[in-house]
Amino acid sequence: MITLLIVAAAAVLGSFAGYWIHRALHQPWSGPFHRGHMEHHLEVYPTTRLTSDTYEVKKWYHSGPVLFTPAAVVLLVVGAALTWLLGVSLWNFLAFGLGLVGFGLLNDWVHDSFHLREHILHKLPYYRKLRRLHFLHHFDMEKNYGIVSLHWDSVFKTKKDT
């Protein structure tokens, strides 16, 4: 039971970190990360062409896993330090790490699928809502930073539903 709670906590922390990372990618101070993300918004998937047959990335180092890996490493180091300080078992730390990495990969897969014309997830009603809200994000880049969850957009007043 504790392992499931740890995996759930990792998913919540992952969604929180993902929200803030995505928000940071929209800020010029994030330098090359901002430029890469703006490439996604303005060149690869502009508002006039939000989908394609295959997911497109101009440069390999602008892909989601590359952009989010440094943050995941920081979170895992913090998790390892807390594990050691609190005397948590190695198994629970591994559950946390796998939950965090799993959530990150799910988040990236769902994001990429938003931009595909055909995808198995398109049949799910909740997914269709997320996709619509993500496309609104492409029109108003200061709204809807969440991908799998829009909870943090509600908390930080960045959610746009219409």
pLDDT at 117: 96
Domain membership of residue 100 (yes or no) is yes
Looking at the structure of the chain, the number of domains it has is: 1
Q: Write down the pTM of the prediction.
A: 0.84
State yes or no: pLDDT of 63 exceeds 70. Answer: no
Asked if 159 contacts 153 with a C-beta cutoff of 8 angstroms, the reply is yes
Domain membership of residue 130 (yes or no) is no
Domain membership of residue 162 (yes or no) is no
pLDDT tens-digit map of 95-104: 888 888 888 8
Angstrom distance (rounded) from CA 128 to CA 121: 8
What the block records as the tokens of 139 is 């029109």
Closest CA to 132 of 99, 104, 101, 160: 160
pLDDT at 62: 60
Q: What are phi and psi of 52, to 5 degrees?
A: -150, 170
Domain membership of residue 147 (yes or no) is no
Domain membership of residue 126 (yes or no) is no
| SS3 (DSSP) at 52 | strand
- What is the extent of the structural domain holding 90? 2-113
